[in-house]
């Protein structure tokens, strides 16, 4: 089915809104795709905000090229933004879109494969010129050759309508054309009955410095909305009623922002200054940007000359008594590993954020992967145990960053937090916690008074095997630390063989002992079942949804996620043993699987994907049903209840 | 102690800066002399001992912090300046010292050398230059002269050396000096001068490695030749050298030249005076090398320029003034785009 919008006559075709059919849907997934210069990220984010304001639960995922501006109209230049919004809880941005908004032929071509038959395609017909078709590798115009018959095609001359709408402002044509993303947003707003006011306010804020541009964007937005109102193809409108989220004050948050705020919160609760030393690297730089924008007496950032300097400065700040943090991605971790060993040796608290991306080497900078797990666990010389935590959703990045900071400070150790490109850039609504909801972080710096009658011993240990933190400026506690092995109490350089054995074992025991702080594993689903789907990090959302779907169909399946990867939780093996089989989906070739096999002596099944894309719910479901018995109740024709607009 | 008793802190002496660690350099190593001068100077720099921190990398010189009874950090190869930068940025009230060597500071740590200096990070860097890798047993270093035969250059090194002072000037350092391990008086005057400089200070010390590069500088620094072969730079003074200060360096048509005071019948009043606030002049003078010229020591560069700490404080205050709303955690977490769910 194809519908065409005529520029001239569109105004006369106005339908009465009352004539339209309004349909309630549980959930919808929209993907906006265009040239990286088309402003699709911005369009997606504005739509996200409106969905959030209405009270939908949602998750988003931007997918953008590594090049800042690849040549216009080409396949590598396509930038996409996907949002799933729902009246129920959502855990992922959606496996596949119900609606694809394609601003040019390249955007159509590179995304069509993900759109199930029957889905809706909205295109900017004006961009389907001979030149753009050629750049995208189309011999024939797909809008005309019938190749899109399996989908519901809505053709809108977006460029021309936008130009007409903003003509009165008198902008240069190139500037006027840029407003087409807001025009498009207006169309989509109408389809889902969203209000444009909030976005207009946002435009005023954002473009207030240039009143003409602000006005043009608002005109385009309204024009898109109004024109949609005149079109027959928009006869059915969709309502996605608000979700039941717990009451409170919310903001939209992505993983990188959540990490930044988690650090700020931990520093405040601990009463420490926050020091963030970092070197620009995709996809972690945003943390540096966020924190730099929050500069204050208690929040300092340091853009170092390289990755090594970034962690070196951080270790210096930790020696001085700050909550010291460095953030990077896999290649940066490789450079920092010697210094991570130093932090382990001197036993200073440090938080190391690794926003994982596709590797090895430079790999896929803007794509996601979970292949640094073994790197952060083992990628150092000597016996160098470092605790490793992983966040599971964008908002969970706040919790786990806070937890990483708490543990680093309590146990006087570097701690690695793994997030990934998917979590870093994906957004979801986040309920802003009150200060008293956050766990206490108690800091006890060593004080001069405590050592009136005895010498300060830098490597004396408390019940957690943590050593004291004596910071410069404390009279009488002057002491030296360093990367050489040291004697087990006074910290003097020691090459004594037995001392080394004991120090290596003590450092290992300290980290292993942290597991006593971890909460028991949470399993969704039955305590005993045929299958446990076990995940960690960014695949958690897909695994949770897959578990729910499988159980709804009667499969004997539970699911569980690991937030603590080193040390592993004390109850892990006992939990795993309750299930006949364990399936581990991960975006690598089986790194957690290897750990579980070594740690619990069981043999999990892997589901391993390394395409640079997040794992889909359906992929987990498909794999799971190959290993568990099909319950009799399952009707193979049954489909997911998410409806197609 | 009762409250009425004034807490009289005893004056500290050199001994208070001597740690209980056994010093493990080779007998006769130039490092001993530098350690002694630093320990002598520390009580005089006007900073409480607990606010002094020594940070080093790896190499013979980098054992230094263990021997100082201050806060100390023996870090990893080449990275001392990064730790010092982070510490100073977060604790500006501390007096932070970096001890490094020619290999540690200019080879593996070369990048940090450049950036620490250009940022004018308010730390004091002393580079022990012995023109050799000592701790790894004698390979040529970035300051080794071309043609140097070592275990890793049996045919003679084919690498051109780098001059630490010139590298520091090129890195926009605001205080650059050079001294000699055995010239204790000069060395301590340099240490005191760098301690009082606000911003990054860099001191190269010619240091004799008795074992792997013995006498690398003795053709310049031996008492018998020192007067003729070293040029002691003095601020705003003519550049005189020789036992009787009978020679002078002057610059004519952009080229330094040696004047014989007697033969040229010059009055020292008419000679060009050294100006440490002029990096161009400093760079030109730092090019002087033996045997054509005497080798300059002393303060090459001394410039007033806001330090990293000053600037950080400035933008922090500016940010505080601009900040809206209360400074409580919840406001920070909320940002300015929220919605409520009842
Ligand atoms: S090897 Fe050379 S520099 Fe090192 S301690 Fe011995 S004499 Fe000193």
Question: Mind listing the pLDDT tens digit for each residue in A107-130?
Answer: 999 999 999 999 999 999 999 999
Closest chain B residue to A49, measured at CA: B337
Render pLDDT for A399-430 as a digit per residue (tens, 0 to 9). Answer: 999 999 999 999 999 999 999 999 999 999 99
On chain A, the residues whose CB falls within 8 A of the CB of B19 are: 480
Count of domains observed in chain A:
4
Confidence of residue A642 (pLDDT cuts 50, 70, 90): very low
Please tell me the number of Cα atoms within 13 Å of A367 on its side-chain side: 18
Measuring CA to CA, which residue among A407, A402, A408, A406 is closest to residue A433?
A402
Peptide bond into A626 cis (omega under 30): no
| Alpha carbon distance B160, B139 (integer Å) | 15
| Alpha carbon distance A111, A105 (integer Å) | 10
Residue at which a domain ends, from A239, A272, A297: A239
With a CB cutoff of 8 Å and minimum separation 6, the contacts of B244 are: none
- Looking at residues B163-183, what average pLDDT do you find? 98
Per-residue confidence (pLDDT) for residue B268, from 0 to 100: 82
Q: Chain A: nearest CA to B177, how far in angstroms?
A: 24
E strand or H helix at A2, and its extent? strand A2-4
Q: Is A475 in the same domain as A513?
A: yes
From B210, B215, B218, the mutation candidate for ligand 1 (largest count of ligand atoms within 8 A of CB) is B210
Confidence of residue A4 (pLDDT cuts 50, 70, 90): low
On chain B, the residues whose CB falls within 8 A of the CB of A475 are: 48-50
Q: Is residue A357 part of a domain?
A: yes
pLDDT surpassing 80 at residue B302: yes
Direct distance between the N- and C-terminal alpha carbons of chain B, in angstroms, rounded to an integer: 60
Measured from the Cα of B31, ligand 1's closest atom is 8
User: And the tokens for A166?
Assistant: 């903003």
- Looking at residues B213-242, what average pLDDT do you find? 96
Q: Is A432 in the same domain as A549?
A: no
Which residue's CA lies nearest to atom 1 of ligand 1? B134
Q: Is A323 in the same domain as A433?
A: yes
pLDDT surpassing 80 at residue A17: no
Per-residue confidence (pLDDT) for residue A166, from 0 to 100: 96
Cβ atoms B208, B29 nearer than 8 A: yes
| Alpha carbon distance B340, B342 (integer Å) | 6
Per-residue confidence (pLDDT) for residue A643, from 0 to 100: 40
Q: Chain B: nearest CA to A388, how far in angstroms?
A: 23
Q: Is A513 in the same domain as A595?
A: no
| The residue to which tokens 């980098």 are assigned | B62
Pairing of strands A78-86, A27-35: antiparallel
Interface contacts (A, B; CB < 8 Å): 194
B69 touches chain A (CB under 8 A): yes
Q: Is A546 in the same domain as A462?
A: no
Per-residue confidence (pLDDT) for residue A640, from 0 to 100: 45
Measuring CA to CA, which residue among B78, B81, B112, B76 is closest to residue A343?
B76
Measuring CA to CA, which residue among B101, B53, B43 is closest to residue B77?
B101
Sheet holding B338-341, edge to edge: A427-431, A248-254, B338-341
Residues in chain B: 342
Q: Is residue A245 part of a domain?
A: no
| Alpha carbon distance A584, A600 (integer Å) | 14
Range of the domain at A17: 6-239
| Alpha carbon distance B172, B25 (integer Å) | 33
Q: Is residue A417 part of a domain?
A: yes
- Looking at residues B175-187, what average pLDDT do you find? 97
Measuring CA to CA, which residue among A569, A577, A556 is closest to residue A522?
A569
Q: Do A342 and B115 touch (CB under 8 A)?
A: no
Per-residue confidence (pLDDT) for residue B3, from 0 to 100: 43
Per-residue confidence (pLDDT) for residue B17, from 0 to 100: 98
Q: Regarding predicted confidence, which is higher, A75 or B3?
A: A75
Per-residue confidence (pLDDT) for residue A541, from 0 to 100: 96
| Residues 340 through 369 of chain A touching chain B, CB cutoff 8 Å | 342, 346
Q: Give bridge partners of residue A237 from the DSSP assignment.
A: A22
Per-residue confidence (pLDDT) for residue B323, from 0 to 100: 85
Render pLDDT for A147-181 as a digit per residue (tens, 0 to 9). Answer: 999 999 999 999 999 999 999 999 999 999 999 99
With a CB cutoff of 8 Å and minimum separation 6, the contacts of A146 are: none
In this structure, how many other beta carbons lie within 10 angstroms of the beta carbon of residue B89? 26
Q: Regarding predicted confidence, which is higher, B269 or B310?
A: B310
In chain A, pLDDT over 70 holds for what percent of residues?
95
Q: Is residue A135 part of a domain?
A: yes
Mean pLDDT of chain A: 93
Q: Is A203 in the same domain as A173?
A: yes
Cβ atoms A35, A73 nearer than 8 A: yes
User: And the tokens for A141?
Assistant: 């115009």
Per-residue confidence (pLDDT) for residue A15, from 0 to 100: 45
Q: Chain A: nearest CA to B79, how far in angstroms?
A: 7
Per-residue confidence (pLDDT) for residue A210, from 0 to 100: 87
Per-residue confidence (pLDDT) for residue B25, from 0 to 100: 96
Q: Is A509 in the same domain as A537?
A: no
| Alpha carbon distance B82, B112 (integer Å) | 7
- Looking at residues B63-69, what average pLDDT do you find? 97
pLDDT surpassing 90 at residue B146: yes
- Looking at residues A472-485, what average pLDDT do you find? 97
Q: What is the residue-wise DSSP string for B2-37?
A: -TTS---PPPP-GGGGB-SSPP-SPTT-THHHHHHH
Q: Is residue A175 part of a domain?
A: yes
Residues in chain A: 645
Pairing of strands A99-102, B247-252: unpaired
Cβ atoms A179, A132 nearer than 8 A: no
Sheet holding B255-260, edge to edge: B239-241, B247-252, B255-260
pLDDT surpassing 80 at residue A489: yes
Q: Do A312 and B333 touch (CB under 8 A)?
A: no
pTM, entire model: 0.93
Q: Is A545 in the same domain as A625?
A: yes
Cβ atoms B104, B78 nearer than 8 A: yes
Q: Do A472 and B50 touch (CB under 8 A)?
A: yes
Measuring CA to CA, which residue among A366, A398, A399, A426 is closest to residue A48?
A426
Which residue's CA lies nearest to atom 6 of ligand 1? B26
Per-residue confidence (pLDDT) for residue B5, from 0 to 100: 47
Measuring CA to CA, which residue among A178, A111, A160, A561 is closest to residue A370?
A561
Render pLDDT for A503-534 as a digit per residue (tens, 0 to 9). Answer: 999 999 999 999 999 999 999 999 999 999 99
Q: Which of A52, A245, A265 lies closest to B329 in CB terms?
A: A265
Q: Is A448 in the same domain as A412?
A: no
Cβ atoms B198, B120 nearer than 8 A: no
Q: Which of B49, B74, B90 lies closest to A483 in CB terms?
A: B74
Characterize B156-180 residue by residue with b for buried, 16 or more Cβ atoms within 10 angstroms of its Cβ, and e for exposed. Answer: ebeeebbbbbebbbbbbbbbbbbbb
Q: Is residue A645 part of a domain?
A: no
Q: What are the phi and psi torsion angles at B298 (to 5°)?
A: 115, -160
Residue at which a domain ends, from A485, A517, A549: A517
| Alpha carbon distance A123, A407 (integer Å) | 50
On chain B, the residues whose CB falls within 8 A of the CB of A469 are: none
CA B106 from centre of chain: 12
Q: Chain A: nearest CA to B113, how far in angstroms?
A: 10
Per-residue confidence (pLDDT) for residue A633, from 0 to 100: 72
| Residues 110 through 149 of chain B touching chain A, CB cutoff 8 Å | 111-112, 114-115
Per-residue confidence (pLDDT) for residue B337, from 0 to 100: 83
Confidence of residue A636 (pLDDT cuts 50, 70, 90): low
| Residues 2 through 61 of chain B touching chain A, CB cutoff 8 Å | 19, 21, 48-53, 55, 58
Render pLDDT for A228-250 as a digit per residue (tens, 0 to 9). Answer: 988 877 778 888 898 888 899 99
Cβ atoms A270, A323 nearer than 8 A: yes
| The residue to which tokens 């006005």 are assigned | A215
Per-residue confidence (pLDDT) for residue B10, from 0 to 100: 74
CA geometry: angle at A591 spanning A585 and A593, to 5°?
A: 60
Judged by average pLDDT, the poorest of A177-186, A203-212, B227-236, B241-250 is A203-212
Q: Which of A200-209, A406-415, A629-638 has the highest mean pLDDT?
A: A406-415
Q: Do B49 and A296 touch (CB under 8 A)?
A: no
CATH (domain of A314): 3.40.50.970
User: And the tokens for B33?
Assistant: 């002399």
Domains present along chain B, CATH in parentheses: 16-236+274-309 (3.40.50.970), 238-273 (no CATH)
Pairing of strands B255-260, B201-206: unpaired
CA A419 from centre of chain: 7
pLDDT surpassing 60 at residue A87: yes
Sheet holding B71-74, edge to edge: A480-482, B71-74, B52-56, B95-101, B124-129, B201-206, B175-180, B295-302, B230-233
On chain A, the residues whose CB falls within 8 A of the CB of B51 are: 472-473
Is the ipTM, as predicted for this complex, more than 0.90?
yes
Confidence of residue B177 (pLDDT cuts 50, 70, 90): very high
On chain A, the residues whose CB falls within 8 A of the CB of B50 are: 472-478
pLDDT surpassing 90 at residue A456: yes
On chain A, the residues whose CB falls within 8 A of the CB of B98 are: none
Q: Give bridge partners of residue A34 from the DSSP assignment.
A: A79
Render pLDDT for A305-347 as a digit per residue (tens, 0 to 9). Answer: 999 999 999 999 999 999 999 999 999 999 999 999 999 999 9
E strand or H helix at B298, and its extent? strand B295-302
Calculate how far, in angstroms, residue B22's C-alpha sits from the geometric centre of ligand 1: 15
In chain B, pLDDT over 90 holds for what percent of residues?
87
| Alpha carbon distance A106, A35 (integer Å) | 8
User: And the tokens for B179?
Assistant: 């001294």
Q: Is A276 in the same domain as A127?
A: no
Per-residue confidence (pLDDT) for residue A490, from 0 to 100: 94
Q: Is A414 in the same domain as A454?
A: no
User: And the tokens for A175?
Assistant: 């500037």
Measuring CA to CA, which residue among B238, B241, B235 is closest to residue B290?
B241
- Looking at residues A205-223, what average pLDDT do you find? 92
Mean pLDDT of chain B: 94
Q: Is A213 in the same domain as A103?
A: yes
- Looking at residues A476-494, what average pLDDT do you find? 96
Torsion angle of C-alpha atoms A160, A165, A167, A169, degrees rounded to 10: -140
Confidence of residue A21 (pLDDT cuts 50, 70, 90): confident
Residue at which a domain ends, from A437, A457, A484: A437
CATH (domain of A564): 3.40.50.920
Calculate how far, in angstroms, residue A227's C-alpha sits from the geometric centre of ligand 1: 82
| Alpha carbon distance A284, A310 (integer Å) | 13
Calculate how far, in angstroms, residue B26's C-alpha sits from the geometric centre of ligand 1: 5
Per-residue confidence (pLDDT) for residue A70, from 0 to 100: 79
Cβ atoms A537, A392 nearer than 8 A: yes
Whole-number CA gyration radius for chain B: 23
Pairing of strands A248-254, A236-239: unpaired
pLDDT surpassing 70 at residue B139: yes
Per-residue confidence (pLDDT) for residue B11, from 0 to 100: 87
In chain B, pLDDT over 70 holds for what percent of residues?
97
Q: Is residue A244 part of a domain?
A: no
A131 to A105, A125, A525: CA distances (angstroms): 10, 13, 54
Q: What is the residue-wise DSSP string for A546-563?
A: HHHHHHHTT--EEEEEES
Per-residue confidence (pLDDT) for residue A245, from 0 to 100: 86
Render pLDDT for B16-61 as a digit per residue (tens, 0 to 9). Answer: 999 999 999 999 999 999 999 999 999 999 999 999 999 999 999 9
CATH (domain of A162): 3.40.920.10
Q: Is residue A621 part of a domain?
A: yes
Per-residue confidence (pLDDT) for residue A639, from 0 to 100: 45
């Amino acid at each position: 089915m194809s519908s065409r919008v005529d520029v001239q006559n569109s105004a006369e075709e106005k339908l009465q809104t009352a004539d339209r059919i309004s349909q309630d849907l549980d959930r919808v997934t929209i993907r906006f795709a265009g040239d990286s210069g088309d402003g699709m990220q911005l369009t997606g984010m504005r739509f996200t905000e409106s969905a959030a304001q209405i009270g939908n639960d949602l998750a988003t995922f931007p997918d953008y090229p590594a090049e800042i501006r690849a040549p216009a109209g080409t396949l590598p230049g396509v930038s996409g933004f996907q949002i799933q919004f729902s009246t129920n809880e959502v855990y992922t941005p959606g496996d596949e879109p119900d609606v694809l908004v394609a601003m040019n032929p390249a955007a159509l071509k590179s995304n069509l494969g993900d759109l199930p038959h029957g889905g809706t395609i909205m295109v900017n017909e004006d961009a389907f010129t001979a030149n753009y078709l050629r750049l995208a590798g189309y011999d024939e115009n797909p809008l005309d050759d019938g190749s899109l018959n399996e989908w519901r095609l809505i053709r809108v001359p977006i460029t021309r309508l936008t130009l007409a709408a903003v003509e009165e402002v008198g902008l240069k044509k190139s500037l006027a054309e840029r407003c087409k993303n807001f025009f498009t947003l207006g169309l989509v707003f109408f389809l889902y009955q969203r209000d444009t006011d909030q976005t207009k306010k946002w435009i005023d804020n954002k473009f207030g410095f240039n009143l003409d541009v602000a006005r043009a964007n608002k005109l385009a937005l309204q024009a898109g909305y109004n024109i949609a109102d005149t079109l027959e193809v928009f006869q059915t409108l969709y309502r996605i009623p608000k979700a039941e989220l717990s009451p409170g004050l919310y903001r939209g948050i992505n993983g990188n922002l959540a990490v930044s705020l988690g650090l700020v919160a931990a520093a405040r609760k601990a009463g420490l200054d926050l020091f963030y030393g970092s070197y620009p690297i995709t996809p972690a730089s945003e943390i540096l940007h966020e924190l730099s924008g929050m500069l204050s007496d208690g929040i300092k950032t340091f853009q170092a000359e390289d990755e090594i300097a970034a962690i070196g400065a951080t270790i210096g700040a930790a020696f001085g008594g700050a909550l010291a943090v460095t953030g990077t991605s896999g290649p940066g971790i490789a450079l920092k590993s010697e210094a991570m060993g130093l932090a382990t040796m001197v036993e200073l608290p440090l938080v190391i954020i690794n926003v994982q991306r596709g590797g090895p080497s430079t790999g896929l900078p803007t794509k996601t992967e979970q292949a640094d797990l073994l790197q952060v666990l083992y990628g150092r010389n000597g016996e160098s145990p470092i605790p490793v935590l992983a966040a599971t959703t964008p908002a969970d990045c706040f919790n786990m960053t806070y937890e990483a900071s708490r543990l680093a400070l309590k146990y006087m150790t570097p701690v690695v937090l793994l997030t990934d490109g998917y979590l870093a850039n994906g957004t979801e609504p986040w309920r802003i916690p009150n200060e008293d909801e956050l766990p206490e972080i108690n800091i006890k710096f060593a004080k001069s008074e405590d050592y009136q009658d005895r010498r300060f011993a830098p490597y004396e240990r408390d019940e957690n095997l943590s050593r004291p933190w004596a910071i410069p400026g404390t009279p009488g506690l002057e002491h030296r630390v360093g990367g050489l092995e040291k004697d087990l109490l006074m910290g003097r350089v020691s090459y004594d063989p037995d001392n080394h054995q004991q120090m290596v074992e003590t450092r290992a025991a300290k980290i292993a002992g942290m597991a006593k702080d971890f909460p028991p594993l949470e399993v969704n689903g039955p305590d005993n079942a045929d299958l446990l789907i076990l995940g960690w990090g960014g695949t958690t959302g897909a695994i949770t949804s897959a578990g729910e779907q499988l159980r709804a169909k009667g499969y004997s399946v539970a699911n569980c996620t690991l937030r603590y990867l080193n040390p592993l939780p004390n109850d892990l093996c006992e939990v795993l043993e309750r299930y006949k089989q364990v399936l581990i989906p991960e975006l690598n070739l089986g790194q957690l699987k290897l750990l579980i096999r070594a740690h619990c002596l069981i043999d999990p099944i892997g589901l391993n994907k390394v395409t640079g894309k997040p794992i889909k719910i359906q992929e987990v479901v498909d794999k799971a049903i190959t290993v568990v018995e099909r319950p009799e109740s399952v009707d193979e024709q049954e489909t997911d209840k998410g409806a197609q607009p | 102690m009762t409250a009425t008793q004034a807490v009289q802190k005893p004056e500290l002496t050199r001994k208070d800066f001597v740690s209980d660690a056994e010093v493990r350099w080779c007998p006769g190593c130039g490092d001993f002399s530098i350690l002694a001068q630093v320990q002598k100077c520390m009580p005089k720099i006007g900073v409480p001992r607990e606010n002094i921190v020594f940070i080093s990398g790896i190499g013979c010189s980098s054992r230094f912090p263990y021997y100082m009874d201050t806060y100390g950090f023996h870090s990893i190869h080449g990275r001392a300046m990064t730790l010092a930068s982070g510490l100073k940025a977060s604790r500006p009230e501390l007096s932070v010292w970096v001890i490094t060597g020619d290999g540690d500071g200019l080879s593996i740590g070369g990048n940090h050398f450049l950036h620490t200096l250009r940022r004018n990070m308010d730390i004091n860097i002393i580079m022990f230059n012995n023109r050799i890798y000592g701790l790894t047993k004698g390979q040529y270093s970035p300051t080794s002269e071309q043609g140097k035969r070592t275990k890793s250059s049996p045919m003679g090194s084919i690498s051109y050396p780098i001059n630490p002072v010139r590298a520091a000037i090129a890195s926009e350092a605001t205080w650059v000096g050079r001294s000699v391990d055995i010239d204790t008086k000069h060395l301590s005057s340099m240490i005191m001068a760098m301690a009082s400089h606000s911003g990054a200070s860099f001191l190269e010390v010619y240091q004799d490695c008795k074992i792997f590069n013995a006498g690398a500088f003795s053709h310049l620094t031996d008492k018998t030749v020192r007067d003729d072969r070293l040029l002691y730079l003095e601020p705003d003074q003519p550049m005189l050298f020789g036992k009787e200060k009978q020679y002078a360096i002057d610059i004519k048509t952009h080229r330094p030249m040696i004047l014989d005071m007697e033969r040229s019948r010059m009055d020292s009043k008419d000679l060009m005076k050294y100006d440490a606030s002029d990096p161009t002049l400093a760079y030109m003078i730092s090019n002087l090398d033996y045997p054509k010229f005497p080798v300059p020591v002393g303060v090459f560069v001394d410039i007033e320029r806001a330090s990293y700490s000053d600037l950080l404080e400035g933008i922090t205050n500016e940010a505080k003034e601009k900040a809206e709303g209360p400074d409580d955690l919840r406001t920070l977490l909320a940002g300015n785009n929220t919605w409520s769910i009842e």
